[in-house]
Amino acid sequence: MHHTGLDTTLMSYSLLVHKSISLLGFVLLASVLFYLTYNTFKLKDEQYQTVEKKLINDRYTQRIRNDKVFPGGVAIIDRYLMDNIYTLEALYDQDKTAFEHYKNQVLDSMFHALRAANTMDSLFAQIKAEYQLNEDLQYLLSINAVQLVFKNLRIVSIYQAGESYPFVPDSLRTRYGVYIGGKLEKPRPQNQIAGITVSASTDYNYWMTFSLHADHSNRILHIIKLMMPTFLLALFAIGCVVSIYYFTFRNWLRQKKLAEMKSDFVNSITHEFNTPLSTIIVANKNMQNDKILADPDNIKPLTKIIERQSLRLQKLFEQVMDITTMDNSSLQKETHELNQLLHEIITDYNVKISVHHNIVIELQAGTHPLIVELNRFFFTTMLFNLFDNAIKYNHSEHKRIAVHVAVGDASISLQIADNGMGIPDNEIEHIFEKFYRFQKQGTQHISGLGLGLFYTYQCIKSHGWKLSVTSEEKIGSQFIIHIPYKH
């Protein structure tokens, strides 16, 4: 019995739904992992170097308690700002253009002097040595804003981070202000150690904001290393979930396929058994008919029908029982001469198909005796199954089966080739499965239980032999049985 188009469509739809749900579940699972990983990274990034930052901040603020920017910086700043504050006020009130030009000169000179006299390199090295901090820790010292306090507490901004100044080249401009010292190239808000504003509420003074940033040169790598155990654990958990689902899904597919094959088997065996039984019942009823019994010549054809159908039932039972025997017991092997045995088997099979004049079985074997150990009954049935399939699945006008024996160094290759319809590549791996029936247009009418090739494979496996199959559609198939052989 073959699958209908509706059955195939429903099965494809069911598999599509399961695969879609699986893909959606995996995407959701991966999204949750990404979300948790990203938030963990952000949290680690925010909390990174908390202890180091506190140690550096405490020592830095302690060293500049009565200073600015770095130890010794206040003297430089006062020299440029306090010494020029009255001139700057006068220019601011009288000539804004002159004020801008002059204050830029003052700031440019002050920033150059601060960079030249920067003592933060030595201070930062001392802090790293004192607290045994990582050597790849770098810092950035910058001035963020400068404001002058004129008479009557009038505040005038002369520098603000983020604004463009002609005297500050791009190489000395950072997002936090003008560069004073350090080698940290890409500071971020999380890297800030200290942000300090110093001011005085008196006339003719100044307010200044400066900041210190510190970070490892490979900060992201450090954070990834810190969260790696958590990340690997999450990946392992997802891998376990995916693996469990995969094996469950694969087992479900196997069970589903087995259930379908068993259903096909039940339908097939019901059909196979019903046909001879119905024929026997009809023949038996005819034999009970008085008009038929009146003529003795009518009895013999009916008994022949009952005999043939009984033999057919016997054959069906034997095929099912043979599978059970193959599954549960070891073979009783005897020594046989292979060429002679093949000749006898083919001769017997030719008698079976003698009524068909369009079938030819050819044997190509050598004259050298080949002694092998095998179970004759199962070996014969195995070959008969291969011959039956070669004939059933063959629409050629002249059907041909070629049996060839080739002797190698360590094995004998028994090749059975036909000129049948061939087997698609995606079907070959399934043809030896129990209850499997090869379905193709033009094969729906072919009867069978789906046990013939399964029986063949079980026989080969029980003998300890190997089997390979090559096939080409519309050309034919070739089954090669590899039998171990010692010269």
Which of 52-61, 213-222, 236-245 shows the lowest mean pLDDT across its residues?
213-222
Q: Which amino acid makes up residue 243?
A: S
Query: Would you say residue 269 lies in a domain?
Result: yes
More confident residue, 125 or 299: 125
Q: Please check whether residues 54 and 139 belong to one and the same domain.
A: yes
To the nearest whole number, what is the mean pLDDT of the chain? 82
Which tops the pLDDT comparison, 336 or 308? 336
pLDDT digits (tens, 9 = 90+) for 334-382: 999 999 999 988 888 887 777 777 889 999 888 889 999 998 878 887 8
Whether residues 241 and 299 share a domain: the answer is: yes
Domain end position, chosen among 217, 252, 286: 217
Least confidently predicted of 36-50, 331-345, 372-386, 392-406? 36-50
pLDDT value for 312: 67
What is residue 444's predicted lDDT score, i.e. its pLDDT? 47
Chosen domain end from 168, 194, 217: 217
Nearest residue to 40 (alpha-carbon basis) of 193, 234, 184? 234
Is the distance from CB of 405 to CB of 338 less than 8 angstroms? Answer: yes
In terms of domains, do 274 and 422 share one? no
| Strands 173-174 and 154-160, bridge-based pairing | unpaired
Distances (CA, A) of 368 to 318, 335, 337, 339, 487: 35, 16, 10, 9, 11
Examine the domain organization and report whether 205 and 92 are in the same domain. Answer: yes
Total residue length of the chain: 487
- Co-location of 134 and 237 in the same domain: no
- In this structure, the answer to whether residues 88 and 188 fall within a common structural domain is yes
Number of domains in the chain: 3
**Does residue 295 sit within a domain?**
yes
**115 in any annotated domain:** yes
The answer to whether residue 42 is domain-embedded is no
What pLDDT sits at residue 46?
63
**pLDDT, tens digit, 9 for 90 and up, residues 263-282:** 655 555 565 566 567 778 87
CATH of the domain at 477: 3.30.565.10
User: Residue 379 in contact with residue 334, Cβ under 8 Å?
Assistant: no
Q: Is residue 43 part of a domain?
A: no
Residues 369 and 458 in one domain: yes
Higher pLDDT, 228 or 74: 74
In percent, the amount of the chain with pLDDT more than 70 equals 83
pLDDT exceeds 70 at position 309? yes
Which among 210, 261, 244 is positioned nearest to 448, based on CA atoms? Answer: 261
pLDDT, one tens digit per residue, over 147-165 is 999 999 999 999 999 898 9
DSSP class of residue 49 equals T
Both 149 and 267 in a single domain? no
Considering the domain architecture, whether residues 343 and 258 belong to the same structural domain is answered as no
Q: pLDDT tens for residues 73-98?
A: 999 999 999 999 999 999 999 999 99
**What is the residue type of 119?**
T
Q: Using the predicted structure, report yes or no on whether residue 230 has a pLDDT greater than 80.
A: no
- Asked if residue 300 is part of any domain, the answer here is yes
**Are 430 and 451 found together in one domain?**
yes
Regarding whether 188 and 63 lie in a shared domain, the answer is yes
Q: Is the pLDDT of residue 211 over 60?
A: yes
Nearest in space to 443 (alpha carbons), one of 432, 431, 456: 431
Task: Tell me whether residue 402 is in a domain.
Answer: yes
**Boundary residue ending a domain (197, 217, 237):** 217
What's the pTM? 0.46
The verdict on 289 and 346 lying in the same domain is: no
- For residues 196 and 199, give the distance between their C-alpha atoms in angstroms, rounded to a whole number: 10
Q: Is 389 helix (H, G, I), strand (E, B) or coil?
A: helix
Q: Which domain holds residue 76?
A: 48-217
Residue 100 in any domain: the answer is yes
Question: For 288-298, where are the alpha helices, taking DSSP H only?
Answer: 290-293
